[in-house]
Amino acid sequence: MSSVTLWFLYVILIGPAICLIPTTVYAPIPLAMAYSLLLLLGFLIAILFAGKSDPKPLFWKKSTLSVPVAIFCLVTVFVHVVLNRVSPISFNLPQLSDIYDVRGDYQDAVIQSPLVMPLVGLQSNCINPIMMVIGGHNMRRIWLLVVAVVSQLILFSATGMKTALFSAPIIIVLLIWGRWAKARPIHVVVAALAVPVIALIIDGITHGHAWTSYFVRRLVLAPSTLSGAYFEYFSTHELNYLGGIIRRVFGLQPSLPPAYQVSDYLIGQTVSMNANSFAAGFADFGVLGVFIVGAVIGLFLRFLDRASVGLPMSYLLPLCLYPTITLSNAAIQTSLITNGLIAIPFALAMMPLGVRSALNPSPGISSPNTENHSSYNWLSGIASHPNHSVVHERVSLHPDAVHSRKK
């Protein structure tokens, strides 16, 4: 799973940012190139910490699929009840042109309830995607897919989060692609590159700009361009130190959040201009912050790999979408806690052994998850592990293999 996430992250954020930083900052070219190199080094650290190609399995072996499904349903009901008390749920979807007003009303409503935003992030970025995946693989549980899609639409109408709106059709497409097509590294790159082209075609047909505004401007250009702005601004201004947490410990006055400082620097207005996790790390601790963020991302992806051992790529491919989008648009602490990413490996760890083995090929064929698991192998273009048979013997979760090990 780390392999696909790293590829998505490179195509959507790292690659464009490396190219755009030297052309969008006011710093001299050598310094601008140093900013690009710093971002690349942070990404390489993430690859390094993501770990080896045969992670040790980490999941609840005695679980059945009914257990996580019941937990996910209970969490879904609880989140929507809490959200309805703070921001009344409506089934009327707002226009894309009105979502900033909806988002502003939602943020004003949750000021007195700080736990609502993490709960919404958990539901939108973790619970709903996994329910879509389970429902898409099991016709007897297709109702989970319907419930998750409806939940995403409700969250969009209440919060104005565009990710909740656009993620449902994207996940369905990835489910179809993952189940009936053999996903390869080059396919992941081509698919990510095709999204802006498709968005441009749709806007051309509809004579609008909503799709390119989200999938090109907001998803790619804004995080990439703001990376250079963050590096340039906080190279000459006081660092933020985790949004003022460390300042409060030492009795100092908290600073204005980096997103507002950068917007005031760029356009002279205090509006929120969030960048990606690497840029936010630089705003907090400078060069060291970029390396820390890379290490944390790598460790998080290693945790994901351990929790997803044995799950086929058709399960994992749709779930790679949310870490990519969140890490490209928010600080690492916001991504993990407020946006709910930290819950994804725990949710995957509840997937039972039967799901991991029944959806894998026969013992003589390596599983998709084993074959495509390595960050190093994918990033170097190698489709399989050089010690293929050894790796398969070590992580195979087929019932026959499990039975033979017990003997």
Does residue 353 contact residue 134 with C-beta atoms inside 8 Å?
no
**What pLDDT does 403 receive?**
42
Structure tokens at 212: 């390119």
CA 79, 83, 88, 93 torsion-angle sign: negative
Backbone φ/ψ region at 161: left (φ over 0), alpha (ψ -120 to 50), beta = beta
- Comparing C-alpha atoms, which of 61, 37, 58, 12 is closest to residue 402? 61
3-state class (DSSP) for residue 95: coil
- d(C-alpha 142, C-alpha 144), whole Å: 5
List, in order, residues 6 or more apart from 212 with CB less than 8 Å away. 196, 199, 200, 203
**What pLDDT does 300 receive?**
94
- d(C-alpha 328, C-alpha 280), whole Å: 10
- d(C-alpha 69, C-alpha 147), whole Å: 12
- d(C-alpha 122, C-alpha 164), whole Å: 12
- Comparing C-alpha atoms, which of 255, 290, 316, 229 is closest to residue 8? 316
**What pLDDT does 53 receive?**
67
Residue 321 exposure: Cα atoms within 13 Å on the Cβ side:
30
- d(C-alpha 63, C-alpha 71), whole Å: 12
- d(C-alpha 120, C-alpha 99), whole Å: 16
List, in order, residues 6 or more apart from 254 with CB less than 8 Å away. 243, 244, 247, 248
**What pLDDT does 245 receive?**
63
Give the type of residue at 249.
V
CA 39, 292, 374, 128 torsion-angle sign: negative
Backbone φ/ψ region at 251: left (φ over 0), alpha (ψ -120 to 50), beta = left
Please report which residue ranges of 51-141 form alpha helices under DSSP H: 66-86, 99-109, 116-122, 128-137
pTM: 0.80
Give the pLDDT confidence of 160-192 residue by residue, as tens digits: 888 888 888 888 887 777 666 665 656 666 777
In residues, how long is the chain?
407
pLDDT < 50: residue spans in the chain: 358-407
**What pLDDT does 182 receive?**
62
Does residue 79 contact residue 122 with C-beta atoms inside 8 Å?
yes
- Comparing C-alpha atoms, which of 391, 325, 279 is closest to residue 17? 279
Measured distance between the N- and C-terminal CA atoms of the chain, rounded to whole angstroms: 31
Query: What backbone phi and psi angles, to 5 degrees, belong to 33?
Result: -65, -35
3-state class (DSSP) for residue 94: coil
**What are the residue ranges spanned by the domains of the chain?**
2-406
Does residue 274 contact residue 285 with C-beta atoms inside 8 Å?
no
Give the type of residue at 341.
L
How far lies 320's CA from each of 5, 128, 185, 225, 293, in Å?
5, 13, 13, 23, 18
Structure tokens at 195: 């999204």
Measured at the CA of 121, the angle between CA 213 and CA 160, to 5 degrees, comes to 40
3-state class (DSSP) for residue 76: helix
